[in-house]
Every structure is written in structure tokens, then in C-alpha cells.
Amino acid sequence: MERPRASFLESRRLLGFALLAALGWSIWQVQWGQPIIHGGGLGAASDLLRGLFSPELSPTFLGTVLKASWHTVAYAFGGITLAVASGFTLGVVASGVLARTAPGRWSMVVCTRGLLAMMRAIHELVWAWLFVVAIGLSPMAAILALAIPYSGILGRIYAEILQDVPEEPLRSLRSSGASEWQVLLYGRLPAVLPDMLSYTFYRLECAIRAAAVMSFVGVAGLGFQIQISLDDLRFSEVWTLLFVLVGIILLIDLWSTWVRRSLVR
Amino acid sequence: MSASANSGQPVYVLQGVTKTYPAAQALDSIDLTISPGERVAVLGPSGSGKTSLLHVMGGMVLPDSGTATIDGQPLLDLSAGKKLSGMVGMIHQQYDLVPHLPVIHNVLAGRLGRWSTFRSLLSLVVPQERRLAVDALATLGIAEKMNERTSRLSGGEQQRVAIARLLVQAPKVILADEPVASLDPARAEVLMDLLKDVADRSSNTVVASLHSVHLTRKYFSRAIGLRKGRLHFDIPVDRLDDDLLEELYDIEGLDGET
């Protein structure tokens, strides 16, 4: 009993030294001669801070904000809707719960899991880039760019949630003559629906953030407006846009809580 | 063996049924014939193979060797299909309902063996064969719980839902795996009364595993004793006596040989 314990401690100590050495080396590598904030940066930072307390609220600008929010929310909803549809289909297959035989399950799981991994390995911004190149600056480019990686993410999580259902009620359904499809409908889905929904809502939040950032590839929306205002150093406008973005996320959070509660009741 | 009320072929014929799990031998060449309408109690210490026997009879487990037939048809042919659910219904120790579903769908789940996938899906929106569920729940005295979430029901009410599912499934044989294991004696008798009513209604064959000799004498016509996966006795209940039971539950001999 004593020996493995000692060697475990030794390896921990070794790791500790290695980490300390890495820290020391990186501190040594920093060039302390230069200031952390560049010359004009301090002034810009204080302007930015001042904007926080005087967000731009003129009706014309609010009109622009509303339109930009509409674009961002519309892209996010379009993307997540497609992602739920394809993610659910792929997730059910990838969970392998419909397979009757072990080899069948194995091939289903391996193929769809691979596909899901490929879809989510590429970031939505990269997909957006590819789609803008392929089909131009259309809403479809933004929606597809969101839908593909998000199906990959949702599909994988759905698959895992579906596998993780207590076996007894399912066995009992089977003994009443239920097929695996019917077990899915009557046993698995009712059990996992609240979890699946709240995860989907969380992903909707992420999709809104991602849709806002799509401006990096030139797609309209909140992010695009933030970029324009930042370029002109109109920080009060930037803050208005950021507050709206936070507001949208909070609204979705409230909505998700409400839906989940009504479902669990 | 007790005389069967109905003539004709037996419900179950098991010959040399053997089932071995990596850890232990669950069933060791069981020969058993059960006639229509019989009420059979399966007794035996924990780990003696009671659950395995019921699972083989319910088609949930395939024996390693030996043959098992129900109504003259090999269980092997039926166990993968839906046909078996019209013949055999099971009631489990923890009732094993789907807690998230409204009661009516847990009851109607007894029809899944007869419904297509599409009809089952439709039923979650517009309950199909609703009348059956309503009648079954009324029979068991919990009609007013029909639209409640099953998890909100008490343990006793959930038992009734499980029996209502069985009623709707309308099998010829009811298999019950320790249905009263987690109940106090009074509640156990209530449950057994309900099961007996349901079984009498359509003169079902009942096979149940139990630990209570009192319940066995009160509700069953035939007693089977299992010990280490072997048939220890198979007698009418009136011949069940303390010596036999002591022998059956004797712990001494159990640990030694396995």
C-alpha cells in the first residue's frame, strides 16, 4: 500500500515543479519595457466607460437597433430550427436506441457520430465564411452557417440524453409489446423532454450570440452595427447595442424557465 | 398437481430449461407444465431463480438450453415479436411506469403491442381506444386520476395504474415478479385482491413470485419451490407445510455448494 502512494506523491510533486518552471519562464519572457496599454488607449478606454452611462437613445438610432436585432434574432431562430430538426433526427440514430441487433447499433452509432463530429468540428464563423463565398451575402448563408455546427452539437447531446434513461420503465413497456420506436415515444422522449428543451434553449442563446458575431463576415445584425459604431468611436451607440443583446438573452432565459416549468408541472 | 379447470392444452410447457449467468446458474433444467386458469406461486430464497423463471416465461430472457412453449408455440419464436404481449402480461416489483407521462398514456401503453407506431404517436395527442383506459381506471377506482402526471400519484395509486395497464393489455397469462415485496401486509392483501379480481374477470392464468406463505395459501392453488435454480417442490397449496418451507429457505446448505 505504501509504495504506490509514495510514487503518486512524487509524480504530483514533479508536475508541480514543471508548472512552476513554466510560470517562471513565461514571466521572464514578458517584455516589461513596454506599457501595457498603448499611448492613446487610456483616453479611448475612458470614453468607452463614459458611454456606458450615456447610451444612445435617439429614435432614429433605436430604429436601426430594432432592425439589427430583428436580423440577429431571425438568423438565430432560423438556424436553431433547422438544427433542432436535423440534430434530433441524427441524434436519435446516433443514440442507437432504435437498433435491434448489436452490429446494427454499432454501425448506426459510429456513422452518425462521425457525421455529427464533422459538422461541429468547424466553427459557425468558418461555415459562414464558406457560405458567403459559395452563395453570397444572403440570410441563407447565415442560417446555414449556424444550422450545421449546431445540429452537430445538439445531435450529440440528444443522443447522450436518450441513452441515459432508466431501463425499468422501458423494459416494462417492451413486455407490453412495445417496439423500440414505441419505447422511444412512450418511454424515452417523455423522460428526456425537459432536459432536451432546456439544453436547446441554452443553445438558442448561443446561436443569438453567434448570429451577432456573424458581422465579421459581413452579415447584417447587431454585431455589424457594433462594428460600425466602434469604427466611428461612437461608444454610447456600442453600449446601446450591447444592452439590447443582453436583454434578448435574458428574455430567452425567462422564456426557457417558463416553458420548462410548465412542462414539469 | 392441481386439476385444471379448463381442459385442453397447457398454457406453459417448460422442458429442461437452463439459464446460466456469468456469476451464477439461475435455472437448472426446469420441467414445468401449467394449465389454463391455474394460480401458481413461486417460492424460494433470494437468488433461487424466481425472477429468471418469470423472465423466461415472459419471453424477456432466452434460456441457454431446453424448450419453453406457450399455448403450444415456442417462446423463442414469439419473444421478439408483438404476439407475445397478447398472451403474457407482466407486473413488476416497482411497477415501472413512465413517471413523466399522464396516467392515461401509461394505461394505454398496454395497447402498444396491438398498435402501429403511427397510431401510438397519434394517441399521445388524441388518446386512442380511450374507452378501454377509462373503464380500466374506473374498475380500479382511480378514474379521476386519468389526466394526472403519473409521478404525482401515491405508491398505491401507481400499483393500480400498473394493473390498469394489464387490464387494457388483456393477456391470457399474468406474470407478477414479487408484486408485494415493498408493501406492508395490509397493502399487500389489497394489491393481491385487486390482482385476483382482474384475473378472475377473464379467468387468467397467474404466476407470481412471493415470499409470503400466508398470501400463497390465501390466493394461490399451486406452489412451486425453487432452490439454487432447481425445482425443489411442486405441489397444491394445501400440501404446503412448515417442514417443506424450512427446507426450502434453509440458508446453511445454500452457501456451501455454490
What mean pLDDT value characterizes chain A? 87
Q: Does B238 touch chain A (CB under 8 A)?
A: no
- Sequential DSSP letters for B50-110: HHHHHHHHTTSS--SEEEEEETTEEHHHHTTSSHHHHHEEEE-TT----TTSBHHHHHHGG
Q: Inter-chain contact A186–B89, Cβ cutoff 8 Å? A: no
**Model confidence pLDDT, tens digit, residues A44-96:** 778 778 888 888 888 888 999 999 999 999 999 999 999 999 999 999 999 99
- Sequential DSSP letters for A24-74: HHHHHHS-TTS-SS-TTHHHHHHHHHHHHHS----HHHHHHHHHHHHHHHH
* CA atoms in the 13 A half-sphere facing the CB of B172: 16
What are phi and psi for residue A102, nearest 5 degrees?
-60, -45
Nearest to A96, CA basis, from A149, A165, A148: A165
Q: How does B169-178 read in b/e, with b if 16+ C-beta sit within 10 Å?
A: bbbbbbbbbb
Nearest to A153, CA basis, from A193, A113, A189, A126: A113
**pLDDT given for residue A217 in this prediction:** 75
Question: Is residue A117 classed as helix, strand or coil in its secondary structure?
Answer: helix
**pLDDT given for residue B1 in this prediction:** 39
Q: Is B201 exposed, middle or buried (0-12, 13-18, 19+ CB in 10 A)?
A: exposed
**CB < 8 Å to B113, chain A:** 176-178
Q: Does B183 touch chain A (CB under 8 A)?
A: no
Q: How far apart are CA B215 and CA B180, in angstroms?
A: 10
**CB < 8 Å to A175, chain B:** 58-60, 85, 88-90
Please tell me which of the candidates B86, B112, B149 has its beta carbon nearest to residue A182: B112
Question: Is residue B142 classed as helix, strand or coil in its secondary structure?
Answer: coil
**pLDDT given for residue A55 in this prediction:** 83
Pairs of residues, one from chain A and one from chain B, whose beta carbons lie less than 8 Å apart: 76
**pLDDT given for residue A7 in this prediction:** 65
Nearest to A83, CA basis, from A206, A249, A245: A206
Q: Inter-chain contact B117–A169, Cβ cutoff 8 Å? A: no
Please tell me which of the candidates B112, B124, B149 has its beta carbon nearest to residue A176: B112
Q: Is A90 exposed, middle or buried (0-12, 13-18, 19+ CB in 10 A)?
A: buried
Residues in chain B: 258
CB B65 within 8 A of CB B18: yes
How far apart are the CA of A107 and the nearest CA of chain B, in angstroms? 21
**CB < 8 Å to A185, chain B:** 117, 120-121, 124
**Model confidence pLDDT, tens digit, residues B56-94:** 898 888 888 888 888 888 887 776 567 788 889 888 877
Q: How does B229-250 read in b/e, with b if 16+ C-beta sit within 10 Å?
A: bebebbeebeebeeebbeebbe
Q: Inter-chain contact B100–A172, Cβ cutoff 8 Å? A: no
Q: Inter-chain contact B94–A175, Cβ cutoff 8 Å? A: no
Q: Inter-chain contact B109–A176, Cβ cutoff 8 Å? A: yes
Amino acid identity at B251: I
ipTM, two decimals:
0.83
**CB < 8 Å to A193, chain B:** 100
Q: Inter-chain contact B96–A169, Cβ cutoff 8 Å? A: yes
Nearest to B167, CA basis, from B51, B89, B245: B89
Q: Does B57 touch chain A (CB under 8 A)?
A: no
Q: How far apart are CA B49 and CA B56, in angstroms?
A: 10
Instruction: Give the mean model confidence (pLDDT) for residues B172-200.
Output: 87
Q: Inter-chain contact B113–A178, Cβ cutoff 8 Å? A: yes
Nearest to B237, CA basis, from B75, B99, B39: B39
Q: Inter-chain contact B117–A176, Cβ cutoff 8 Å? A: no
- Sequential DSSP letters for A150-201: HHHHHHHHHHHHHH-S-HHHHHHHHHTT--HHHHIIIIIHHHHHHHHHHHHH
Nearby residues of A82 by Cβ (< 8 Å), 6 or more positions away: A143, A144, A147, A151
Q: What's the DSSP call for residue B232?
A: E
Q: Please give the residue of chain B at the shortest CA–CA distance from A180.
A: B117
**pLDDT given for residue A2 in this prediction:** 45
**Model confidence pLDDT, tens digit, residues B201-258:** 878 899 999 888 889 999 999 999 998 888 888 989 888 888 888 888 886 666 544 4
Q: Inter-chain contact B96–A168, Cβ cutoff 8 Å? A: yes
Q: Does B15 touch chain A (CB under 8 A)?
A: no
In this prediction, residue B156 has a pLDDT band, given cuts at 50, 70 and 90, of confident
Q: How does B89-116 read in b/e, with b if 16+ C-beta sit within 10 Å?
A: bbbbeebbbbbbbbbbbbbbbbbbbbbe
Q: Please give the residue of chain A at the shortest CA–CA distance from B91.
A: A172
How far apart are the CA of B105 and the nearest CA of chain A, in angstroms? 8
| Partner residues linked to A235 by β-bridges | none
Q: Please give the residue of chain A at the shortest CA–CA distance from B92.
A: A172
How far apart are the CA of B239 and the nearest CA of chain A, in angstroms? 33
What mean pLDDT value characterizes chain B? 85
Amino acid identity at A144: L
Question: Is residue B22 classed as helix, strand or coil in its secondary structure?
Answer: coil
**CB < 8 Å to A260, chain B:** none
Amino acid identity at A109: V
Please, what's the largest Cα pairwise distance for chain A? 77
C-alpha grid cell, residue B169: 393489455
Q: How far apart are CA B124 and CA B108, in angstroms?
A: 10
How far apart are the CA of A188 and the nearest CA of chain B, in angstroms? 9
Instruction: Give the mean model confidence (pLDDT) for residues B108-128.
Output: 92
**pLDDT given for residue B257 in this prediction:** 45
Can you list the residues of chain A whose pLDDT is less than 50? 1-3
Q: Please give the residue of chain A at the shortest CA–CA distance from B90.
A: A175
**CB < 8 Å to A190, chain B:** 98, 100-101
**CB < 8 Å to B58, chain A:** 175
